[in-house]
Amino acid sequence: MKARRRRRAGAVIAAAGVAVGAVVGGVPQAAVAQGVQWQDCAEPEAPTLQCAMLEVPLDHARPDGRTVKIAINRLPATAPEDQRQGPVLLNPGGPGISGLWMASYIPSQLPPDVAAAYDWIGFDLRGSQHSEPRMSCDPHYFDGPRPDFQVSQGTTETWLAKAAGYVRNCTEKHAELLPHLSTVDHVRDMDAIRRALGAEKINFFGWSYGTTLGSTYAQLYPSRVRRFVLDSIVGPSIPWYDHNVLQDLQHEKRFKAFAAWVARADGVYHLGTDPDDVEDKWYAMRTSLRAHPVGRIGPDEFDDTQVAGGYNILRWPRLATVLSAYTNSKDTAPLVTAYERYAAPDPTDDSFDLYNAVQCSDSKWPRDFRFWKKDQAKVNEKAPFYTYNNMWFNAACLTWPVKAGNRTRIDGRGLPPMLLFQATDDPATPYEGGVDMARALPGARLVVERGGGSHAITFAGNRCLDDTLVAYLRDGTLPANRGLVDRTCDKLPDPDPVWVAAAPAVAATQGAERPDPAPLVR
């Protein structure tokens, strides 16, 4: 999953809580919660937000060994005691994106009675962001302009060396930590948070990779599950390599959908009325940037900027403006603005490091580049927009030092009904994943946004989706069981084709772009 994005955590972590050990399911676990030593986060925008650090075993099979610290925060419930519904653990995806911002953001999007009923718990995964220790393998790995992703440009050996050097850095700096960063390790930490909170059960809300965390927790701890919401779903059993291939194919469809939308708006963008012509102009701009980068923006950085449009359709007007301004008048200002907004790396953001640590160890990857070269060439024939960008983003898994296992099998036994959301045209977590999860969780209810092509679809303005979510959080109400898909919601209208003149706002007729609630999933 693509974890290269930035999010203000909204909290400074400054306290500690510790738990001690017993045995659960054959694995030594911390069983006696000593509580969490909450402190004021000193967050002006959320004055009641509390922060803490939770100490957990590095290796949950050795609870008396070395420990690490998990950064957590809480927006406490304010409803009367008899109306409170317990803690909700929150995760935005990544893996590796900070979840601390969610504790104040999510309740702000809900009706007051629902927001007041829960303790909203944000947390950063072990090894990431505000947790300790924090991974940092190569803060400048994505500095641009980078060597062109396209193998036709003779950059294969350069990228192989670049990826291998990155892995060496990770190994030298974090050798003791790397074997303990799988999804199961993070799920064990989630249960440590539950114990520290003194809760018998937890609720959960997760986007994207968060759906993997939530479903894995549910599988390992079914008796501790209350209300779980999974939005934009990673398939429950697909290896990460295969998941990335599905993404390549779906991103190609979204790029073509963008080109068709631009072609219908020739009166605004003046790029022609034929989608193929629009695509040709986009690739021509990419070629031009190879020869003449704009500052740190070369073809790879242009790719990254455009890929962002696959995750949020409200970005299309800005991206169309980028292409039109460059093509028709060689104006690069919109490109610079879009890149800085959507794709510029932040050297203080370590989410790419944890992304690799999780994905490279969660499931087996091909270790022979000859296989990648042959297989990815076949995929590229069908999906040239994204395939090689995605391949090199994941190249660390070729030489990752941790032996990979298999993803936890999800079967849904012993679980209460869960609520699933999936858009049919989501490129980051393709539709197949939502369908497969619904099959794996027979008691769940699947809500589908028909024709929706954005990622992380709740709290994006679709009342049909959000009303379903609110009803479930309020009192457990679920759509009626109608088979595989239990409720279908129409997608929101496409954005108006407007010229985006300046950062940071879009044209007033369209409204501001919604803040990203989830990372760009690779």
455 is catalytic: yes
Contacts of 480 (CB under 8 A, 6+ apart): 486
Whether the CB-CB separation of 222 and 448 falls below 8 Å is answered with no
Residue 58 gets which letter from DSSP? S
In terms of DSSP bridges, do strands 87-91 and 50-57 run parallel, antiparallel, or are they unpaired? unpaired
Q: Which of the following is catalytic: 426, 466, 486, 516?
A: 426
C-alpha angle 471-475-476 in degrees, rounded to nearest 5: 80
186 is catalytic: no
Q: Which of the following is catalytic: 174, 180, 243, 455?
A: 455
Cα dihedral sign, 106-340-249-186: negative
If DSSP codes are grouped into helix, strand and coil, which group holds residue 40? strand
Q: Which of the following is catalytic: 208, 232, 351, 363?
A: 208
Whether the CB-CB separation of 479 and 169 falls below 8 Å is answered with no
CA–CA distance, 226 with 467 (Å, rounded to integer): 19
Which CA distances in Å does 8 have to 98, 105, 119, 352, 511? 8, 11, 21, 16, 22
| Closest to 91 (Cα-Cα) out of 232, 209, 268 | 209
| Closest to 254 (Cα-Cα) out of 338, 311, 331, 337 | 311
CA–CA distance, 59 with 426 (Å, rounded to integer): 36
Residue 127 gets which letter from DSSP? B
| Closest to 335 (Cα-Cα) out of 79, 343, 187, 177 | 343
| Active site residues per annotation | 208, 426, 455
